[in-house]
Amino acid sequence: MNQENKLKSGGLLVFILTAGVFGIINTEMGVIGILPLIAETFHVTVPEAGWTVSIFALVVAASAPITPLLFSGFNRKRVMLLAMGLFTLSNIVSMLTTSFTVLLIARALPAFLHPVYVSMALTVASSTGDKIQDQKNVARVFIGVSAGMVLGVPVTSYIASEVSFEMGMLFFTVVNALVLLATILFVPSMPVREKLSYGTQLSVLKKKITWYSIAGITLINGALFGFFSYMSDFLQRVTQVSYSVISSLLLVYGLANIVGNMIAGRQLLRNPVRSMALLPFALLGFYICLFFLGEWLVPIAVIILSLGILAGYGQNTMQYMITHAAPEAPDFANALYLLSANLGTMMGAAICGAFITAFDTRYSVFGSLLFLVVGVVFVVLRIRLVDFEKQVEIAAAA
């Protein structure tokens, strides 16, 4: 067993990768909890402040199909160091700038390496050769995503509202710097031994199931993060609660994500089709409830808890949708997952923001409902295509 596999089996490498994903998601999503404060600090509107989320997602969506391919032959430790170094530097700039334009640039630049690091982390985590262990490791890496919300969103919201916006950015900086140090000290050199050709990886785009998966992921993630991008504004304006209550509810949402990750890890091994089918319909029901019960704190708390569980459940399920549609190119499949997810985040934030501008904050939910109604179609098409292919294989064997 080589040193990399020893690290995987012992959990150290998976832990560091999870921490790295946490640092990246912390930087990407942490600003969601302070969009009203960003608007106030930089003298812009809340929908304009939402571009601190959208610009990051736009760059990730644009670079996701390209940068993982370009870096697929590089030593993985060097890629980790490059990504963590750039994220740390960009957070320092975000902390010090007084210009909204510079803030957007500092948000955009590290986003180019987001898909490289995360797709690499998911691929390494799922390459032990043991199906059950692979799914457990992927679920653990997704806990890094959830932890980015558990700590990143509410902690940043609390620090920024109680101290200052600059101190909120300092939290991002410290997290990424610690992961950078851990990578230097504990991760061995990880050269890529078997590099797939670009043609082999790109050939997965010829399959219908790949495109159905991409569309489904884009739309479902657009529904999830379209509303989540403005959740703090919804809680402030519609539910009319304080920043401290908003931080608490965001923490509940993030903790529920971890629960959803753990549930999904088990359910995907048992019945992946049911997991894929359940997700969009459950979200539809809770978003409808959210629209009608927005003023009441207790129902909203229950809905946010439920949406948090579904968000964690959904991330694992959506990653499964694309990687099992293109198992022959795992790195590129994970890159396509990130492309779809971040394209959905960008589109969701933009469409839900448009509903806010046209009507008011409550109607941001309409954007998520629109995404889900269309998303259901592609999830059903993907499931039916797999069933059809299985029937063809059975008929051919007979």
* pLDDT tens profile 241-250: 988 888 788 8
Of the given ranges (105-109, 138-142, 212-216, 299-303), which has the lowest mean pLDDT?
Answer: 138-142
Structure tokens at 71: 């870096």
CA distance readout (Å), 190 to 28, 50, 76, 95, 159: 26, 37, 5, 33, 37
Checking if the pLDDT of 366 tops 70, the result is yes
Q: Give every CB contact of residue 270 below 8 A, 6+ residues apart in sequence.
A: none
Express each pLDDT in 180-224 by its tens digit: 998 898 888 888 777 777 787 888 999 999 999 999 999 999 999
Express each pLDDT in 278-329 by its tens digit: 999 999 999 999 999 989 999 999 999 999 999 989 988 998 999 889 888 8
Higher pLDDT pick, 277 / 133: 277
Q: In angstroms, rounded to a whole number, what is the distance separating the alpha carbons of residues 120 and 98?
A: 34
Give the predicted TM-score (pTM) of the model: 0.78
Q: What is the average per-residue pLDDT within 169-190?
A: 88
Checking if the pLDDT of 9 tops 50, the result is no
Q: In angstroms, rounded to a whole number, what is the distance separating the alpha carbons of residues 155 and 218?
A: 28
Scored b (16 or more CB within 10 A) or e, 14-44 reads bbbbbbbbbbbbbbbbbbbbbbbbbbebbeb
DSSP state at residue 163: T
